[in-house]
Amino acid sequence: MITDLQMDISAVNNMTYEEFMSKFGNVVERCSLCAAAVWDERPYEDVVHFSQSIAKIIDDLPVSAKKGLLRHIPDLAGRMAQSGGLSKESTYEQKSAGLLNMSDEERMKINSLNEKYKRKFGFPFVICARKNKKDTILEALEKRLKNCCEQEINTVYEMDISAVNSMSYEEFISKFGNVVEHCSLCAAAVWREHPFNDVAQLSRHIAKFIDDLPLSGKEGILRLHPDLAGRIAQSGGLTKESTNEQKSAGLNDMTDDERMKMNRMNEQYKQKFGFPFVICARQNKKAAILEGLERRLNNSAEQEAITGANEVKKICDLRLRDIVDPTSSKL
């Protein structure tokens, strides 16, 4: 909404606090605190600087506060929309997506999904209505119901690529240092390539860095990954990213027989290749992972280093898209 600002940035910088709050108090729905918190950041260089100041305030909030912000957002096509109780901003946004012109069947479906979502996560479903239409919103709502709570928080608060491009090196490494498990070198290596056009370009730069590594480097990256459903997972020692990924594949909910089979094959794999088995858990379920592990035990070490590195790239791409809005572009 800030990027739609029609007035000159100098006019914003010259506003009194009261004028500023009157104009920008609802850029984050029903949370004037966000505007109040960036008042001291003036003067802004431009609207991007202004927007990034608010984005940083939100990024720095604890998870509980981020959930609180989400609870201020009205349901899409919900009772408030039907009764005309939305803010003028939300009215415009929901109208632009066609949410105020739904059939009875569509409205029943979105209301049912909204309730399921709130019961699961404790806050309403949020998506940028101005970048979507009702069909894609319904599709996204169904899809995101499969996320865990942390994944959903990450999805809602994805940053814009312009915010990535404005990061200092230290901020960049802090944010992206684990998109390749325990290997901040991958993020450090692509820092010099910014500004990035979008998250896809950022992902391609990291993928190229991995591709260009010698075989020993690829093997090194694989050795930084934990065993799937292994001792680290059982003891709660995984990174938050790996925890969510293994959970999404059902690896935290294995029978004793499945776990014994997985552990046995993991050991066979490491003894043969010298690094752990890596597969993109978010694109597979436990049965497919067990099958893949058994099948890939027949490969050569070179084949597995390359296959494993390709899986790392898939994992990295998904982690990047958890952080950066894939629809945002600097162009």
Known catalytic residue at 225: yes
Distance CA 49, CA 90 (A): 24
For 117, the token pair is 């979502």
Set 49, 72, 194, 225: catalytic member: 225
Tokens of 95: 């109208």
In the chain, where does DSSP find H-type helix? 9-13, 17-24, 32-38, 47-59, 63-71, 79-83, 88-96, 104-121, 134-144, 149-156, 161-165, 169-176, 184-190, 199-212, 215-223, 231-234, 240-248, 256-273, 286-296, 301-323
DSSP state of 249: T
Residue with the two structure tokens 């390359």: 306
d(CA 158, CA 243): 19
In order, the DSSP letters of 270-323 are HHHHSS-----GGG--HHHHHHHHHHHTTS-HHHHHHHHHHHHHHHHHHHHHHH
Residues β-bridged to residue 324: 159
Cβ 248 vs Cβ 148: under 8 Å: yes
| Interacting residues of 90 by C-beta distance below 8 A, sequence separation 6+ | 29, 74, 81
Count of alpha carbons within 13 angstroms of residue 271, beta-carbon side: 6
Catalytic residues: 225
